[in-house]
Amino acid sequence: KRILMPGVLVLCIYGVFAVNNNIFDVGVMFVMGWVGYIMMRNRIPAAPFLIAFILGPLLEDNFRQSMLMSGSDPSILFRGPITWFFWLLTTITVFAITRSTLRKRVPLS
């Protein structure tokens, strides 16, 4: 570990800098490294963060496209039966996760 970790760090710095020749990217790499370290120390899973990081821009682009198509009318998000199905599925999922989390925190007596 004493040899491998510094070697990997040097290669990461070199790779990040080589992409855009920008030192700001290296700073972002270090900040995100600290965020990952803090998440690991607090036992926060990385998978939801990674999924949000990847799917966030896709969601934003599609939301912007739907608002442009509807002339900024938010009712486009509730028009068809398939949209109501997905809203209902999302609501049930969020409710179930919240309920499960609260049950784990507060013991029933």
Joined tokens for residue 40: 């690991």
Rounded CA-CA distance 55/52 in Å is 5
Q: Taking Cα atoms as reference points, which of 20, 52, 47 lies closest to residue 29?
A: 20
pLDDT band at 108 (very low <50, low <70, confident <90, very high): low
Question: Quick one: pLDDT band at residue 18, thresholds 50, 70, 90?
Answer: very high
Domain residue limits, the chain: 79-109
Q: How far apart are the first and last CA of the chain?
A: 48
Q: What is the largest CA-CA distance in the chain?
A: 60
Angle at CA 59, nearest 5°, toward 96 and 69? 120
pLDDT tens digits, residue range 31-75?
999 999 999 999 989 898 889 989 999 999 999 999 999 999 999
